[in-house]
Amino acid sequence: MSLRKVKIAGTGSYIPQRVLTNADLERMVATSDEWISSRTGIKERRIADENEAASDLAYHAARRALKNAQVKPEDLDMIIVATITPDMIFPATACILQEKLGARKVAAFDLEAACSGFLYGLTVGSQFIATGMYDTILVVASETLSKIVDWQDRNTCVIFADGAGAAVIGPSSDSGRIISSYLGADGGGADLVKVPAGGSRLPASFQTVQNRQHYMKMKGNELFKTAVRAMIHAIHASLEEGNLKSSDVDYFIPHQANMRIIDAVVKKVGLSQDKVHINLEQCGNMSAASVAVGLDEAVRGKKIKKGDKVLLTCFGGGVTWASIVIEW
Ligand code: COA
């Protein structure tokens, strides 16, 4: 069977209105703008309203992606939502989004690969397009990390933020295509970042809430080293699969966890700093949404032009990692 080429037909993103600055955080926990800026590169982040859930952010990002792809919700064949902060444990946020968008009763499901979720989602969705089973798929990464971070824990609350990014994918009739995808995971690192309670291992109870186990716990330092190694490995693997060298990359959109992680990866892979997309200064770490929002910003800001080779690389909880090369 010959496989079809898959392209990104349109992107969209949405970040909540409310800005939380490092100065605001100084009033909440024992931290400083100096510490946050120098250790992470983050200056401010966007935080969802109390009544704003992942599907609400996803809806706005999806509407924009559909408009840019000139696709009507009723033309969608499948909806994939990548998130670690779903509206509820179930039903899937993708089903809630399907109803909000007024899409047909098509396949809809959530995918959980933490910060790597958007690239996992693009890769999974691409298989249905490539085989000809479906023609139009919406992939959304939507996160409301502010709802699961412990606002008393300075190790995590200064880093994570909220936002959503979306892409419509479909068959390509020109040179634009996803050239290669590489996905990886290592459950040996499952303890590095997690929300211990609220699942079947430790169901939510008065005790788990009192122990603050329904909030995210992170071993930042270990995660840092693992992230650098995994991202470098994923980049090399995806470039190799596409028969490309790092000098072929025209634009790089890395996961926005920490400026020092990005700098280390860029240096080691030998990419040029001026080709790297950064949004963590204003957006913080939006988990799966970071690269999705970054891609939309790059498209809107005309950082990417037809024919460019665009590299997207992520690392996240699980631990998971992923890298995709696109010819735009
Ligand atoms: N403000 C001030 N001090 C802080 C702080 C904050 N917000 N957070 C932690 N500290 C303190 C620690 O308590 C520690 O103090 P101690 O030496 O007295 O024990 C000190 O700063 C150093 O902590 P450490 O964790 O070693 O710092 P770091 O340089 O590794 O930076 C992270 C911390 C979290 C910024 C960094 O490890 C990181 O970005 N890791 C990867 C995160 C990540 O990618 N997460 C999700 C996957 S997407």
- Express each pLDDT in 88-119 by its tens digit: 999 999 999 999 999 999 999 999 999 999 99
Is residue 285 flagged as an active site residue? yes
pLDDT tens digits for 214-230? 999 999 999 999 999 99
Minimum CA distance residue for ligand 1 atom 9 = 155
Same domain, 82 and 153: yes
Q: CB–CB of 283/163 below 8 Å?
A: yes
Indicate the pTM of the whole model.
0.97
| Element spanning 142, H or E | strand 137-144
The torsion defined by the Cα of 256, 12, 24 and 277, in degrees rounded to 10, comes to 30
The single-letter code of the amino acid at 135 is: D
Domain boundary among 173, 208, 235: 173
Domain boundary among 173, 198, 230: 173
pLDDT computed for residue 47 by the predictor = 98
Verify that 142 and 262 share a domain, yes or no.
Answer: no
Query: What is the Å distance from ligand 1's center to 224 Cα?
Result: 9
Residue with tokens 């929002």: 293
pLDDT value, residue 304: 96
And the tokens for 255?
């996961």
Domain count, the chain: 2
Cα torsion 32, 34, 37, 42: sign: positive
Choose the catalytic residue: 95, 115, 157, 283.
Answer: 115
Q: Is 258 a catalytic residue?
A: no
Nearest-angstrom CA–CA distance, 45 and 127:
34
Contacts of 22 (CB under 8 A, 6+ apart): 31, 32, 33, 36, 37, 42, 43, 44, 158
User: Considering only CA atoms, which residue is closest to atom 24 of ligand 1?
Assistant: 221
First-to-last alpha carbon distance for the chain, in angstroms, is: 25
Question: What's residue 184's pLDDT?
Answer: 98
In a domain, 251, yes or no: yes
| Cα distance between residue 131 and residue 109, in whole Å | 19
The secondary structure element, H or E, covering residue 12 is strand 6-14
Annotated catalytic residue 115: yes
User: Which residue, 173, 196, 213, sits at the end of a domain?
Assistant: 173
Same domain assignment for residues 151 and 187? no
* Continuous segment of H or E residues that includes residue 79: strand 78-82
Number of Cβ within 10 Å of residue 24's Cβ equals 13
The helix/strand/coil state of 188 is: helix
CA 114 to mean position of chain CA atoms: 8
In a domain, 1, yes or no: no
Element spanning 107, H or E: strand 107-111
The protein residue with its alpha carbon nearest to ligand 1, atom 26, reads 221
Are residues 32 and 120 located together in one domain of the fold?
Answer: yes
Tally of CB atoms within 10 A around 63: 16
3-state secondary structure of 278: coil
Residues in contact with ligand 1 (CB, 6 Å cut-off) = 31, 35-36, 39-40, 115, 154-155, 158, 193, 218, 220-221, 223-224, 227, 257-258, 285, 316
Cβ distance 82 to 93 under 8 Å?
no
Which is the catalytic residue, given 255, 258, 277, 283?
A: 255
- For the domain that residue 201 is a member of, what is the CATH number? 3.40.47.10
Nearest-CA residue for ligand 1 atom 34 is: 220
Query: Are 160 and 190 part of one and the same domain?
Result: no
Per-block average pLDDT, block size 10, for the chain (328 residues)?
94 98 98 98 98 98 98 98 98 98 96 98 98 98 98 97 98 94 98 97 97 97 95 98 97 97 97 95 98 98 96 98 98
The whole domain housing 191 covers 178-327
What's residue 29's pLDDT? 97
What's residue 224's pLDDT? Answer: 95
Which atom of ligand 1 is found nearest the CA of 260? 39
Say what the pLDDT of residue 1 is: 76
Report CA(218)–ligand 1 centroid distance (Å): 9
